[in-house]
Structure 1
Amino acid sequence: MRRKSVTSAARKSIATTSPGHNAGRDVAIIGGGIGGLTAALAFARQDAKVTVYEQAPALTEVGAGLQITPNGARALIDLDLGPALAASGLVAQAVVPMDALTGDEVARFDLSTHNPPYRFLHRAALIDLLARACAAQGVKVVLDTTVSGVSADGSFEAGSAVVKPQLTIGADGVKSQVRQTIGRPTEAFFTGQVAWRAMITRPDADPVARIWMAPGRHMVTYPLQNGRLNIVAVQARQQWAEEGWHHPDEPGNLRAAFADTCWEIKGILGEVEEVKLWGLFRHEVAQNWHAGPVAILGDAAHPTLPFLAQGANLAIEDAYVLARCCNENASIEDALQAYQTKRRARVTRAIRVANANARNYHLKGIQRRVAHTALRGMGRLAPDAFLRRLSWLYDYDVTA
């Protein structure tokens, strides 16, 4: 059964709500990642004056793939990025749980019924299409600039300049300094899991996401454009690793962690020449997402473990809702309260499901056999049931 998206007549589009209260509003966004650039584009399309401050010398992401699920895609399409999204990504056909020890397919769940499609993208491709769209809307991007001293009134130092916009948005990631302005963040704790990220050339890979499950470990693989295969591998262990995506590790350590798995995995990992390692830490969802004319979104508000492919999608949704709430309210404080009210329960639920997947992928012994038997039965007898359990996530239309 094909999943239907909300018709255009039922939408309240970013593009059709101008002119509104964002017209002429001076908005500063700290962080030029996916959430920050989506927010910049959404506000700029409502005629706000938008400046993005990014500490890196260029807007780019390297060496990592992501999955844009239908809920995230609806917001991007409404921002007129549909054709660019289609040109930059691969349409996913299925998600396939695998037994990593035997190489057997446990089940196959069809993704092709989603509208809009579920897509695999390289992060750099998404950053690029967002950056080009922002430039076309007149967004100013200030690169290679360190932001400090974010105050309760939204003012901050950008390099040697003092900036005081009407609205300051922290899209500055898991170590957000803007979040500290809003309220003291809770201490993160190590989950006892580490993750590796790598990429190899695999031009013949079919467009499916495979979840290779093993006791205490799992690996997710899916293809990207230009014949690349994205790899994310997770191991439960007590040896601590630093948080963050860009810490180099030896490929041999990744191969050793999966040394007793099937020949397909050994073949994939045997081609890895460069790998990044990071520790997985759990953070509480922020109690407050705003204070005065300051707000946070994405990982700054709700860091997400990578077990539901929703980090980027939730940030995109946040950005879209934040812009629309501000456009609909003359009072920034009222707008930011509406934004938090609309978003917090949803992202909390998504994070709870992601945390559960971290356990389910790593089952051992009798629990593992029972879970695989249940997946096989579901795949044969009720293949739609697996995805129906996530209909609250994928069928959600932030533009409606």
Structure 2
Amino acid sequence: MPPTPSAARRAPRIAVIGGGIGGLTLALALRRHGLRAVIYEQAAELAEIGAAVALSANATRELERLGLGAALAAVSTEPTELIFRDGRSGARVAAFPVRDGGAYRERFAAPYYGVHRADLQKVLGGALAGEGLHLGHRLAALDQRGDAMALTFENGAEVEADLVIGGDGVRSVVRRWITGGDKVRYSGTSAFRGVVPMGLLPSLPDPQAIQFWMGPEAHLLHYAIGGEADSVNFFAVVEGPETWTSDRWLAGIARAEHRAGFAGWHPAVIEMLDALPQSQRWGLFVTDPLRRWHRGRAVLMGDSAHAMLPHHGQGANTTIEDAVTLAELLAELPAAGGACDLDRMMRRYQGLRQRRTRTIQRSAWATNRLLHLPDTAGPEALARRDARMARFPEDFGWIHAFDARATALEAAAGGSRAA
């Protein structure tokens, strides 16, 4: 796509730390405006951690605008329904059509997809075609020198940039420089996960639906992925351990430990948990709400700014929103593109993104409590939980309806709409 007229200026040198979903989306969104980002990724090859991702309309509409709609649809599954179930009996507590009857697309004007992270990475990376991507670059230090940022990498490389965008995840080096400390903490919950061939799940009802199985101090989420919907991605969350002693995301488990939180649950749940060998658990970490997302010529996006519990499936989606917002605001910088303009842009970006992401973070914590409600809460509390799940579209439709590009354009034009 040719550059827009707004690109006819001295473009800022933009360095993106992290070649994940956010970094790649940002580079593609900037390219649409004739701006170039250089991505520095610590891994020797692009490989997303984790099994799969659920993309809701607030992200898929942006990816479609980037011309990725057909490629994304080819490797994704659109779930038939969203279903909440009792984890032990398997009874439906609440259900809402998604693909069925075109209900979700009709309401939000974009699809909901389940996609393997590796396939999403290929779609994004393929569109970028390696432009400005530097692998094997782990950031060691950054420092501001005048109006420029000096970056030093562990491989010895040194570069300068007018703007550094930290998309380097929960344990972000850029965030530590901006905030002066580490704002990540263990949530007190952990998860078991995997991708299971559909043929190994004969007891699973409604296999192409996205489903939450709820129970005391645990829940299991799963959805079909792939262009043929031939696999199921699951994410089983339990309370504990109370503390996390590993310095990594993963910790080893004893034999059959993954089943302990799901004793007496529906056969489909046990079947899914046992379909693959389980030798480790994932600690779920979040970032505390940040007072500032930027300092000097550096700014944060994605998990580095607002890592959240995954119970709304919004980690990747809000990261894509961040990327689109940054791209639109950068594209509207005045021709001079000076330090004051970048300062103003970063303040506006934080103003647009902070409240929305904090609200989703808080809601994910509240959802964790609902999904894990113990029997001791009593029948009235359980009935209130079930009634809350029955109001899911009314209570949480605002997450999916959000239009990041329109919001950013309105802000760039002097509007006051934020989140």
- TM tier, shorter chain? 0.7 to 0.9
Change (3 A) 1:393 1:16: farther
Question: 1:217: which partner in 2?
Answer: 218
Render the CA deviation track for 1:322-350: whole Å, top value 9, x for unaligned: 11111112321111111111111110111
1:149 aligned to 2:150?
Answer: no
TM-score (norm 2): 0.84
Change (3 A) 1:217 1:344: same
Change (3 A) 1:365 1:377: same
CA contact (8 A) 2:250 2:283 kept: no
> In terms of mean alpha carbon deviation, does 181-190 or 237-246 score higher?
237-246
Quick one: distance in 1 between partners of 2:367 and 2:133? 37
After TM superposition, list the pairs within 5 Å mapping 1:1-400 onto structure 2. Answer: 18-20=5-7, 24-61=11-48, 63-112=50-99, 113-114=103-104, 115-135=109-129, 139-152=131-144, 153-158=148-153, 159-185=155-181, 187-203=183-199, 206-225=207-226, 227-241=230-244, 242=246, 245-247=249-251, 249=253, 252-274=256-278, 276-329=280-333, 330=337, 331-365=341-375, 367=377, 369-370=379-380, 372-374=382-384, 385-400=391-406
Q: Which amino acid aligns with 1:342?
A: L
Change (3 A) 1:282 1:51: closer
Quick one: distance in 1 between partners of 2:343 and 2:8? 13
Change (3 A) 1:88 1:244: farther
Quick one: distance in 2 between partners of 1:246 and 1:21? 47
Give the secondary-structure state (helix, strand or coil) at the position aligned to 2:405. coil
Aligned positions, number: 381
Change (3 A) 1:22 1:340: farther
Q: Which amino acid aligns with 1:36?
A: G
Change (3 A) 1:339 1:257: same
> In terms of mean alpha carbon deviation, does 234-243 or 311-320 score higher?
234-243
In structure 2, runs of 5+ residues without a counterpart are 407-419
Question: 1:10: which partner in 2?
Answer: none
CA contact (8 A) 1:97 1:212 kept: yes
CA contact (8 A) 1:41 1:134 kept: yes
Change (3 A) 1:377 1:319: closer
Q: Give the drift of 1:148.
A: 1.4
Q: Give the drift of 1:18.
A: 4.8
**Residue identity (%):** 31
Question: 2:414: which partner in 1?
Answer: none
Question: 1:6: which partner in 2?
Answer: none
Give the secondary-structure state (helix, strand or coil) at the position aligned to 2:34. coil
In structure 1, runs of 5+ residues without a counterpart are 1-13
TM-score (norm 1): 0.88
Q: Which amino acid aligns with 1:161?
A: A
Give the secondary-structure state (helix, strand or coil) at the position aligned to 2:256. helix
Change (3 A) 1:391 1:244: farther
Q: Which amino acid aligns with 1:50?
A: A
Quick one: distance in 2 between partners of 1:334 and 1:91? 40
Give the secondary-structure state (helix, strand or coil) at the position aligned to 1:218. strand
Quick one: distance in 2 between partners of 1:35 and 1:22? 25
Q: Which amino acid aligns with 1:202?
A: M
Change (3 A) 1:278 1:105: same
Change (3 A) 1:368 1:332: farther
Backbone CA RMSD of aligned residues: 2.4
Q: Which amino acid aligns with 2:299?
A: A
CA contact (8 A) 1:304 1:351 kept: yes
